[in-house]
Chains A and B, each alone.
Chain A
C-alpha cells in the first residue's frame, strides 16, 4: 500500500485487487440479506479508499483504517436504505422471491459507473476512457490527444475525484423491486 501511495502503479493495482477481495468477503458477511448491494459497496469503498488514501498514516494498522472506512460505508448504505424504504410500500418481500438474482450475478454492480463517467468533462473523461478501456499508456494517450502527459494524468486524477463525489451524491437505484 505504501508503495502505491508514493506512486508505484503496479503495487497500487495489486493492493486494490487484494483489497477488493477482502472487502467483498467483509460485506458479504455483514449484508447477507442483500447480496446485490455488496458489489456496489465494494466499488464505493475502493473509490473512497483510493480517494482518501492520504489519511492513512504508516504508523497505524492498515486493517483498522480500512475497516473504519468499510464500516462507515456500510452505515451510509443502511441509512440510505432506511430513508428509501420508508418511501416504498412493503412490496419488497414478495418481490424478493420473484426477482432474487442471487450472489452469482452480483459481480456486475447495478449502479452504472459508465453512465456517471459519461457526465465528466472531455478533458477528464477522454484520458480515463483511453487509459482504462483501451489500455494505452499515458504517453500514448498524450500523443494521440495532443495533451501533455501531465495533463493526461491530471485529467485522470480530477476525473476520478469528480466520479467519487458523484457516486457519493447519487441516490442508489432501488433494489430488487422492478416496476
Chain B
C-alpha cells in the first residue's frame, strides 16, 4: 500500500478524539482495584483488631500516610509516562521523596534507641511477610495501571512499567497498613519500602513485554 493511500484511509477515520483518557481509565480502574485490594487484605489477613486505637498513634499515620502520598504522586507519573515527550523526572522525585522521609525517620529512631533494641525495631514480628503482602495487595492496581498505559503511548516501556509498579506498590502498602501490627519507623523504612520496590522492579521487567504498541 502506498503511503498516500494510507493517509487517505486514516483521514477518513476522523472520530473526534476523547480527551483525558488516562484520567478516566485510572479513575475507573482504581475505583474497582482499591476496594478489591482492601477485600483481599480483609479476607486473607484481616484488619488489625487494634485499628481503632492505632488511629490515635502518629506512627500509624506515617505508615499509612506516606504510601497514600506516594500513590497520589504516582497518578500524574503514570499519566505522563503514557504521553510521548512528557517530562517525568519531577513526577518520579515527587513519588520518591516520602521514601527519603521514611529513611530519615527510621535512622533517627535507630539512633535514639539503645543498641540491643535496634534489631527489634527493624524486624518487628512480621518482617518475613510484610514485603510480600504489600506486593500481593498491589496486584489489582498494577493490572489497572498497565491497562491504563496500554491505552496511552508509553515510549519507554520499561520505565512505564516501573511507573505502573510505583503506583501499585504505594496503593498496596497503604492497604496493608490497615492490617499491619508494626508501629516502628525503622520497620516501615525497610519492609514497606522493599514491598513497594518489588512491583516497581516487576513492572520494569514486564513493561517491555506488556507495553509494546
Residue numbers of A with Cβ under 8 A of B are 4-10, 12-13, 16-17, 20, 39, 42-43, 46-48, 50, 52-57, 60-61, 64-69, 71-72, 76, 107-109, 112-114, 117, 128, 131-132, 135, 138, 153, 156-157, 160, 168
B155 at the interface (CB under 8 A from A): yes
Q: Is B117 an interface residue (CB 8 A)?
A: no
Known: A17-B7, A68-B85. A108 touches B2 (CB 8 A): yes
Please report whether the interface of chain B is mostly helix, strand, loop or mixed according to DSSP. loop
Q: In the complex, what residues of A have CB within 8 A of residue B15's CB? A: 7, 153, 157
A52, B7: Cβ atoms closer than 8 Å: no
Give B residues with C-beta under 8 Å from A: 1-19, 21-22, 82-86, 152-153, 155-156, 212-213
User: Are B85 and A65 in contact, with the CB atoms below 8 A?
Assistant: yes
Residue in chain A with minimal CB distance to B19 = A54
Residues of A within 8 A of B21 (CB): 54-55
Find out whether the CB atom of A47 lies under 8 angstroms from the CB atom of B153. Answer: no
- B14 and chain A: residue at smallest CB distance: A9
For A46, list chain B residues within 8 Å (CB). Answer: 3, 6-7, 10
A132 engages B12 (CB within 8 Å): yes
B6:A47 contact, CB within 8 angstroms: yes
Q: How far is the CA of A116 from the CA of B106 in the complex (A)?
A: 58
The 8 Å CB contact of B12, one of A9, A53, A55, A65, is A9
Instruction: Please measure, in the bound complex, the distance between the C-alpha atom of A69 and the C-alpha atom of B86, giving whole angstroms.
Output: 11
A-B contacts besides A42-B3, A52-B153, A156-B13, 17 pairs, CB < 8 Å: A6-B17, A7-B16, A8-B14, A12-B14, A52-B152, A57-B86, A60-B83, A60-B86, A65-B83, A68-B84, A71-B155, A107-B2, A109-B1, A112-B1, A117-B1, A131-B12, A138-B12
Flag if B17 contacts A53 (CB, 8 Å): yes
